[in-house]
Structure 1
């Protein structure tokens, strides 16, 4: 707490906040943890005021975010639109940064995937799952570029001693993406899209093979080794904790096919409809439910490994 004693204002940011309510829960938990830290050190009289910055892309529905904000909150709130892969705040401004399930989104689809003359042209595929090495390398290179920008920006914005907690999709070192639950679901989704495109290839339909060829999901699950290398290369942070955990626990409700598809649809419907249009959505996800049922045992077995990457960094 000595790092923050010169100010009576504790600033924290949630990067990739979406529209709630998870962001409000996370911010309240962090706030209470800081308060408890002060109290445990006999500094209850010096507990600071709190200011929370909610960040997401400019297209995020900030109106919904702020109208659903808890009325009894213990912090001042502000919205900060913009990409977290670049600077968002002044120098040495923040004390704590949190980001949950946002960093797996790439800033853009690698250009090589759409170039027919490139070895990374991803024809017939929508992700790097089961794709060529060139495609996997293109995804990894884009993630590296994005994370370098993210770490560089946060290194400037966090005070010395400031903390950063990142939770995102993860992949065990050396494991193919096809062994992950998300990889399997992307593979099933890809199969449904290709089947729909082939069915209408010789007639006027809702979906074409060309549309599938030009569609790629900008998502990447990094390994602990990749994150470690990026943090060490950046040099601004010490790694306090880095681990892969299982998203699901024994206490969670039993996983079923429809729940898997529902989660995928919630996260990706907007990007799919933007590319293919709204007319295919219901048919696509109905087919996906059937596809998942056929191979649901693979989903269940893939969920046994750790696929959630938790990282705690401290600004040097």
Structure 2
């Protein structure tokens, strides 16, 4: 993800992820209502895996903390609440400086702090914590990103094996990831989704523009792959069955509409602003990968072509664009 706080940063282009979190919040709260209540003498440990940086980073952890505090208060009374530790984990390239800057600002408002916080750099496809130390693990809009292109099953199994070691018996694993509906035979099997979403087609056209202008060759165009895979609920359930150690409490496929009708009407009057906003969202997600592949100059040109394409194609503003997510909660058994 693109760090910093400028127009193309993740922190300023994560509204879609925020909506997905809001839609899935009832599943998270329901899973926490059934979690085993652990001793109040030891800290409760929460981790956000693939935390990025921004308001979304804290929203779900706050939900977990508040839900657990209510449960413990109801059972033990207000004087026996356990201390809570929250570990924010992401790749070392994540903007941890921004994350803790925002956390410090948040704590000035929330004082006294509701939990102790720490950062854990590393890949969630590896072990990050000692065995049996995590009570609640959440991962939001991250698990569809692969460690390497076409490693979907391998990566899912590694993720689950690591969490199986780290999460205590009775603990909760909650995951929200990009996904596709049940019954679709492959990532691109749902042609309706592909046709309705502007990213796929328009980005392909932008790459072709660079090729047509002689700025890149076919090998360069064809050699770039985004290491992401949108799993179906069946694929996720099969992975959990293969690893064992978890009982699925709830799993759903949901559609997240990208823009409100009001926003679309606003952009119809100013398609240039739509093109710029759409491009900022795309850059926030994939600019670091593109820049590592093409370099900064060609990356600027690619995203400019993309912006021009989106700005001049009014068809997208007359479609209901959405993307799919798979959400599940599971109990460690």
**TM-score clears 0.5:** yes
User: Aligned pair count?
Assistant: 278
Please give the per-residue CA displacement for 1:202-243, whole angstroms capped at 9, x wherever unaligned. xxx3x3322222211001111111111111121111111111
Partner of residue 96 from structure 1, selected from 136, 140, 157? 136
Unaligned stretches of 5+ residues in structure 2: 1-34, 268-273
Distance 1:32 1:177, change over 3 A: same
**Deviation of residue 37 (structure 1)?**
1.5
Per-residue deviation, residues 173-213 of structure 1 (Å, max 9, x unmatched): 2332543369651232122112211321xxxx3x3322222
Matched, 1:247 2:264: no
Partner of 1:19: 53
Contact 1:177 1:183 survives alignment (8 Å): no
Moved more, 149-158 or 294-303: 294-303
Q: Distance in 2 between matches of 1:265 and 1:177?
A: 25
C-alpha distance in 2 between matches for 1:157 and 1:300? 44
Once superposed, what is the RMSD of the aligned Cα atoms? 2.4
Structure-to-structure mapping, 1:141-290, within 5 angstroms = 142-175=151-184, 176=189, 178-180=191-193, 184-200=198-214, 205=215, 207-248=216-257, 253-255=262-264, 257-258=274-275, 259-290=277-308
Q: How far apart, in 2, do the equivalents of 1:99 and 1:3 lie? A: 21
CA distance in 1: counterparts of 2:208 and 2:259, whole angstroms: 36
Greater fraction helix: 2
**Mapping for residues 24-43 of structure 1, pairs under 5 Å:** 24-43=58-77
Q: Which runs of 4+ in 1 moved over 4 A?
A: 181-184, 249-253
Call closer, same or farther: CA 1:54–1:21 in 2, change over 3 Å: same
Query: 1:278: how far off?
Result: 1.2
User: What do residues 97-118 of structure 1 show as CA deviations (whole Å, max 9, x unaligned)?
Assistant: 0111110100012xxxxxxxxx
Report the alpha carbon displacement of residue 269 of structure 1 after superposing the two structures with TM: 1.2
TM-aligned CA deviation for residue 164 of structure 1: 1.1
Alpha-carbon shift at residue 3 of structure 1 (Å): 4.4
Once residues 243 and 265 of structure 1 are traced to their aligned partners in structure 2, the CA distance between those partners, rounded to angstroms, is 28
Distance change (3 Å), C-alpha of 1:221 and 1:50? same
Residue in 1 that maps onto 2:99: 65
SS of residue in 2 equivalent to 1:232:
helix
Asked whether the 8 Å contact 2:173–2:331 carries over to 1, the reply is yes
Mark the runs of 5 or more structure 1 residues left unpaired by the alignment: 110-138
Deviations 1:241-283 (A, max 9, x none): 1111222388675345434333212111111111111113343
Q: Take 2:258 and 2:316, find their aligned partners in 1: how far apart are those partners? A: 17
Asked if residue 108 in structure 1 is aligned to residue 148 in structure 2, the reply is: yes
Q: Which structure exhibits the higher relative contact order, with contacts defined as CA atoms closer than 8 Å and separated by 6 or more residues?
A: 2
